[in-house]
Amino acid sequence: MEEFGKSVLLLLVLLNPFLLIVYLIDIVKKKPKDLFARILLRAGIISFVVFSCFAIMGDSIFSSVFNARMASFQIFGGIIFLLTGIQFVFKGNASIESLRGESKHIAGAIAMPIFIGPGTISYSVLIGERLDKPMALGAIATAILLCITIIILLKFVHDHIHAKKEELIEQYIDIAGRVIALLLGTVSIELIMSGLTFWMKNS
């Protein structure tokens, strides 16, 4: 159970609901609580299915299904996050809305690339190696449910204080979003470099 708890905690840290709420702020503002919760649940189900596939099949899913390497995924994922970070630094929240596309595809766009990324997928593979398969799937489901629950609670807090502290919230979101985007860009470069290093070593 100790390994189960560690797996849940580390995946929750990688999902980081306090970071995700910044990227979802335009949806938080526009959507009512019930619809927001349903969108997040659908995104969570999509994420669970993807993470479960990687936990069960491991990194062999790249070689056997896609005829590719894990390093290629890291490089591509790093580029996606880098582009997202650059857009956010210069355009703020509007960039995330434009990257997600039409509102009817919100759940899928939240799942990828906001929930599903190189870090969370890589760690899902590691969970599948550390735990037996039922426990691994349970750990993934628990982390996703905790993340969604925290984001929904933050949505309730936002709606409660938004009218009184609107200007303060806007300033926090703008500053926090741009700072996080800088960190995201740094992590993206690290992912790209790690992928390139691994790719060159195994060429």
Full DSSP string of 74-104: HHHHHHHHHHHHHHHHHHTHHHHHHHH-SGG
pTM score of the predicted model: 0.74
Intra-chain end-to-end CA distance of the chain, in Å: 39
Task: Give the percent of the chain with pLDDT over 70.
Answer: 74
User: How far is residue 52's CA from residue 75's CA, in Å, rounded to a whole number?
Assistant: 22
**What pLDDT score was predicted for residue 124?**
86
User: How does pLDDT run across 131-173, given as a tens digit for each residue?
Assistant: 888 999 999 999 999 999 999 988 888 777 766 666 666 666 6
**What pLDDT score was predicted for residue 142?**
95
**What pLDDT score was predicted for residue 113?**
64
Q: How confident is the model at residue 105 (pLDDT cuts 50, 70, 90)?
A: low
**What pLDDT score was predicted for residue 12?**
84
User: Which helix (H) or strand (E) covers residue 73, if one does?
Assistant: helix 70-91
Full DSSP string of 105-116: GHHHHIIIIIIS
**CA angle, corner 54, sides to 154 and 14, nearest 5?**
30
Say which range, 41-45, 115-119, 153-157, has the weakest mean pLDDT.
115-119
**What pLDDT score was predicted for residue 15?**
82
**What pLDDT score was predicted for residue 48?**
94
User: How does pLDDT run across 77-94, given as a tens digit for each residue?
Assistant: 778 777 777 777 776 655
Mean pLDDT over the full length of the chain? 77
Q: What is the mean pLDDT of residues 192-197?
A: 80
